[in-house]
Chain A
């Protein structure tokens, strides 16, 4: 029994340490990702995703990237990467820090090898001199016969692929943290309104925070040449009704409060009114073109507005009042700033002026810092792997007689035989020059 489970775990280990499996997983992930760009995804295009056939929806094809299957693929790849990295850790460590000089001639790299003859002492001294001059890190053999050495440059490059592979795992962990502990939501509110963070429309996760958000003002600012400068929202965070933070945000310049970020996502025009019911005044903010409505408390009257084209205060605002589910307005008209009308005897409405509506993306993602860490590691790993490739040159000097000897020196070719050959040639020509 013991042995059986041992061989099973060994087999599992072996499967996961295979690069073939890793590449197959990568290929499948690429393929599945590609399918998701053809079939409409709920997150990108909810209406079209709604329209595809029910079977596809059940299979998860309309939210491919958040299906269990897709996560399983990523999980398997992570296991694969971890196993691969663990397995190669020791050899990378040895290659970096424990290089041993050759003790036999066959240990000098054979594919890429050169021979120099000369005086024994001069050969040894010039090899050492060249290694120091060229900035190699080197080890000499501890026995004197045969005299041998191993020299290396850019040895940290050995860690490149390991760091790259582990950074991918870090990225997946960061993404997982975000989807487990974070939330994502959206709200659009007019200037002057305050809403509790709990009441925003959430598309992912749940909100546990309890503060409120007040939109002080929202503005669509244009440059003198008529191009859009940016959308600006002056907003405050309120804890138990008290302002704790205030900032003007714009696209690309978010506000972050206690790990919750607010991004300017869109903008709409609107107007502010005061409604007065039985002497009770309260502010009402409405979006242009009937995008939002006002239902006076205790009535079934619905009010929508339409701003005149140039949206200047003078031209005022068109309003319509609907009753219940009725399709035709029962009252309509135009209001100028400061004007008051009576709506069906139920309430009085005063037009106070224009107000911007700000659409804000709200996001909490505790995984983001892990993601940036992963990105940083990924870059460091890749830079090491491709811009810092290690070079290893080793060789030995064998005595022919009392005074004369032969230097046999070789360079480890690795993935770039050409560059290794070039480096070896330079090394040998420096040594040759020196013994002359």
Chain B
């Protein structure tokens, strides 16, 4: 019963995410207020659906959503939707939707295309994964990764607008990027979002280390997943510093935000699918 509700929530999520992505894109082209409003509402529906799916999964399985890639991706998507909606409301920035929503869309498509039903069902967790610290680990990862996805969208917007206005080129008021916020504003927003997420990513790594220390007696063992989360952390530390260095604000910082998010994706996909390690049993 609960399991079939969960499946229903998952497909509602897929439909809502697809729809809101398209609506945001249409809105960006047409600027019809009603389309924009609708896009926002559908995103709220998507957030509710993903939250329901996760909660139902946690009730049926009795543990935080980390027993397999499906559960983790679902949490990732919910994190992106939550942080995105917050940013849209707080900064009145609807154009961001067209650049952020493709990310949860592709993540969901990845689930549908590459994971069979048996890979999606709740799995028993090995004794090592029974720890309260992992709940914090997942929660912090969810919001940190969600925020990094948003800063990725902001980075793309920055670079698009930058390339159109480079060398003092004049923008026609009809151009899509003319409706984006000013470059400095995009840069500052991205900084705020990364500044929100960086402490969370740090907390995520630390709770992971505390857990590992309880489980194996080593807080850090340089397994590929740990190492890649450290690399991600270093890239974002680089981003934060780049903004303080002469000539690195803006364009180069935006590129670093893009690389940072690619490292986030690699930490998840690359490490689980290409590199061996401790975390591989978590699938």
Contacts and interface: CB of A to CB of B under 8 A. Distances in A.
Interface of A: 19-20, 22-23, 26-27, 29-30, 33-34, 36-38, 41, 43-45, 65, 175, 184, 227-231, 250-254, 261, 263-265, 361-363, 365, 368, 371-372, 375, 378-379, 382-383, 385-387, 415-418
Nearest to A26: B234
Contacts of B195: 385-386
B41 interface: no
B217 A231 contact: no
A33 B234 CA distance: 11
A386 B223 contact: no
Given A34-B227, A263-B215, A416 B188 contact: yes
B130 A251 contact: yes
Contacts of B128: 251-252
Contacts of A36: 222, 227
B33 to A, nearest CB: 25
Closest A-B pairs by Cβ, 3 of them: A363-B217, A251-B127, A382-B199
Interface residues of B, number: 51
Contacts of B209: 371, 375
A228 B63 CA distance: 14
A361 B215 CA distance: 10
Given A362-B217, A383-B199, 16 more contacts: A27-B234, A33-B227, A33-B230, A65-B222, A230-B130, A252-B127, A252-B130, A254-B217, A361-B216, A363-B217, A363-B218, A365-B217, A371-B209, A378-B202, A386-B199, A387-B199
Contacts of B221: 43-44
Contacts of B219: 368, 371
Given A383-B199, A386-B199, A184 B227 contact: no
A44 B222 contact: yes
A382 B144 CA distance: 14
A382 B227 contact: no
B79 interface: no
A252 B214 contact: yes
26 contacts: A19-B244, A26-B237, A26-B238, A27-B238, A37-B224, A37-B275, A44-B221, A44-B222, A227-B124, A228-B124, A228-B127, A252-B214, A263-B214, A263-B215, A264-B127, A361-B217, A363-B218, A371-B209, A375-B206, A378-B202, A379-B206, A382-B198, A383-B199, A387-B199, A416-B188, A418-B185
Interface string B232-251: 00110110011111000000
B237 A263 contact: no
Given A33-B230, A33-B231, A23 B124 contact: no
A251 B215 contact: yes
A203 to B, nearest CB: 11
B163 interface: no
Given A33-B230, A250-B127, A251-B130, A20 B202 contact: no
A113 B37 CA distance: 36
Contacts of B126: 228, 251
A261 B228 contact: no
A261 B211 CA distance: 14
Contacts of A44: 221-223, 276-278
Contact of A20 (B124, B211, B245, B271): B245
Residue with the greatest number of chain B CB neighbours at <10 A, chosen from A22, A33, A45, A264? A33
B30 interface: no
A59 B128 CA distance: 35
A415 B245 CA distance: 12
A101 to B, nearest CB: 27
A208 B230 CA distance: 34
Contacts of B131: 252
B201 to A, nearest CB: 10
A37 B223 CA distance: 7
Contacts of B203: 379
Contacts of B276: 44-45
Nearest to B91: A418
B127 A229 contact: yes
A45 B214 CA distance: 22
Residue with the greatest number of chain B CB neighbours at <10 A, chosen from A38, A253, A378, A386? A386
Contacts of A371: 209, 219
A227 B126 CA distance: 9
Contacts of A418: 185, 188
B178 to A, nearest CB: 20
A261 B126 CA distance: 21
Nearest to B209: A375
Interface in B60-113: none
B192 interface: yes
Contact of A30 (B124, B188, B224, B234): B234
A37 to B, nearest CB: 4
B119 interface: no
